[in-house]
């Protein structure tokens, strides 16, 4: 079920070019400035597999899925070695999350299930959707109790998976009338606030939704006309931030007032913002995927300014989802250029916001 590749070469991405190294760790020795991260990428040894959605495990290794090649893999950033776990053909894994025990949970986006991989045995346990119409589990996230909220984009559902029982609770999202993409509001990116409420980007609408965990009722917030939120994240004051994929802005939603403030990205309407992450200094990192190479951008909510831009040296293709690792002050990403990468962030500062 699993196999490993040895002596994989990594390449360190710098402004001046690409430097090859066999064992360089991205977590030490990379020089970043006071405002710009240092970037490094590794070529994934499984061709044309769309590696994506990396997450750091408790042991420091980095897990990710191969969406178009039906696998889960793990990178040891200290050695550059990869290990691969094959899934059933057609699983179409879209996203994964790693729990505190090191179990790997993934969304079987083309196979109507959430799966759990035990890395010590290679055993996979599948939890099928109770409604077969919910065919495409999409993005997973843990709440504070260790249960998993998830979206199902095309099926138009939001769900919650209870790990203790294996129960799955489902809620239909908004329906859209007259859309060329069908009536799904396309629930997409999801984050959890300090009250354990999920917040969901409804990508086929100009709305962001949230679900009351007690009543399981959906509430929506309207964004500017023609906005299309795709990924979102949250700062420590429970303010919701989103990338407007259609209009090229970074948006700020205050849930207490419903007020929306927008900031035009450096490349404007051409930017196609996609993957984003908030660090523990409340700085926002977002990727402009509409330009080549992709542009890794930093935004400071305190000054309300974009303060950093870095090119993805492999090109990026499209960087779809990112993960902030507080242990190393780094953001991890997967790229359509068949690479997994890390941005070692500038030094931390006091948070811009607080509870």
Mean pLDDT, range 287-309, rounded to an integer: 97
Q: Which letter does DSSP use for residue 31 in this model?
A: -
What pLDDT score does 3 carry?
Answer: 43
DSSP string of 36-72, one letter each residue: --EEEEEE-SSTT--EEEEEE-TTS-EEEEETTTTEE
Please answer whether residues 325 and 12 qualify as being in contact, where contact means their C-beta atoms are separated by less than 8 angstroms.
no
Whole-angstrom distance, CA of residue 117 vs CA of residue 104: 5
Please answer whether residues 210 and 219 qualify as being in contact, where contact means their C-beta atoms are separated by less than 8 angstroms.
yes
Q: Is the pLDDT of residue 139 over 50?
A: yes
Where does residue 301 rank: exposed (0-12), middle (13-18), buried (19+ CB within 10 A)?
buried
Q: Which residues contact 58 (CB under 8 A, 6 or more apart)?
A: 98, 100, 102
Where does residue 300 rank: exposed (0-12), middle (13-18), buried (19+ CB within 10 A)?
middle
Note the pLDDT tens digit of each residue in 143-184.
Answer: 999 999 999 999 999 999 999 999 999 999 999 987 777 899
Residue boundaries of the structural domains of the chain: 2-344
Whole-angstrom distance, CA of residue 241 vs CA of residue 228: 13
What pLDDT score does 178 carry?
Answer: 73
Mean pLDDT, range 176-203, rounded to an integer: 93
Q: What is the 3-state secondary structure (H, E, C) of 220-286?
A: EEECCCCCCEEEEEECCCCCEEEEECCCCEEEEECCCCCCEEEEECCCHHHCCEEEEEECCCCCEEE
What pLDDT score does 34 carry?
Answer: 85
CB atoms within 10 A of CB 123: 10
Mean pLDDT, range 53-78, rounded to an integer: 98
Q: Name the CATH architecture for the domain at 2-344.
A: 7 Propeller (2.130)
> What is the share, in percent, of the chain residues with pLDDT greater than 70?
90
Write down the mean pLDDT value for the chain: 91
Q: Which of 150-154, 174-178, 272-276, 326-330 bottoms out in mean pLDDT, i.e. has the lowest?
A: 174-178
Rg (CA), the chain: 19
Instruction: Give the pair of three-digit tokens for residue 252.
Output: 């700020």
**How would residue 7 be classed by pLDDT, with cut points 50, 70 and 90?**
very low
Q: Which letter does DSSP use for residue 9 in this model?
A: P
Please answer whether residues 237 and 222 qualify as being in contact, where contact means their C-beta atoms are separated by less than 8 angstroms.
no
Q: Is the pLDDT of residue 331 over 60?
A: yes
What pLDDT score does 352 carry?
Answer: 56
Q: Is the pLDDT of residue 15 over 60?
A: no
Give the phi and the psi of residue 71 in degrees, each rounded to 5: -145, 165
């Amino acid at each position: 079920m699993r196999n490993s590749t040895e002596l994989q070469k990594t390449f360190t991405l710098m402004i001046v070019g690409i430097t090859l190294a066999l064992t360089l760790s991205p977590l030490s020795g990379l020089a970043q400035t006071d405002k710009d991260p240092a970037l490094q990428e590794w070529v994934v040894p499984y061709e044309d597999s769309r590696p994506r959605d990396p997450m750091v495990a408790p042991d420091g290794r980095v897990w990710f899925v191969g969406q178009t090649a039906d696998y889960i893999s793990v990178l040891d950033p200290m050695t550059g070695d990869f290990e691969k776990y094959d899934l059933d053909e057609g699983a179409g894994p879209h996203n994964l999350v790693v729990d505190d025990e090191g179990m790997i949970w993934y969304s079987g986006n083309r196979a109507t299930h959430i799966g759990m991989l035990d890395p010590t045995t290679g055993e996979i346990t599948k939890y099928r959707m109770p409604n077969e119409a919910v065919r495409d589990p999409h993005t997973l996230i843990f709440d504070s109790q260790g249960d998993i909220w998830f979206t199902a984009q095309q099926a138009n559902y939001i769900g919650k998976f209870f790990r203790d029982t294996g129960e799955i609770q489902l809620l239909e999202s908004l329906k859209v009338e007259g859309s060329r993409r069908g009536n799904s509001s396309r629930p997409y990116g999801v984050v959890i606030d300090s009250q354990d409420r999920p917040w969901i980007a409804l990508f086929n609408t100009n709305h962001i939704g949230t679900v009351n965990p007690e009543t399981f009722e959906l509430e929506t917030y309207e964004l500017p006309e023609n906005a299309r939120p795709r990924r979102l994240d949250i700062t420590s004051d429970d303010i919701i931030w989103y990338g407007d994929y259609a209009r090229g802005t970074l948006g700020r939603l205050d849930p207490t007032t419903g007020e929306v403030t927008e900031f035009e990205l450096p490349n404007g309407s051409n930017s196609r913002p996609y993957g984003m992450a908030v660090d523990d200094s409340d700085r926002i990192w977002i990727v402009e995927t509409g330009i080549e190479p992709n542009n890794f951008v930093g935004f400071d909510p305190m000054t309300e300014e974009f303060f950093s831009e870095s090119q993805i040296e492999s090109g990026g293709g499209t960087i779809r989802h990112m993960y902030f690792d507080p242990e190393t002050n780094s953001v991890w990403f997967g790229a359509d250029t068949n690479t997994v990468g890390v941005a070692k962030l500038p030094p931390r500062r006091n948070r811009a916001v607080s509870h």
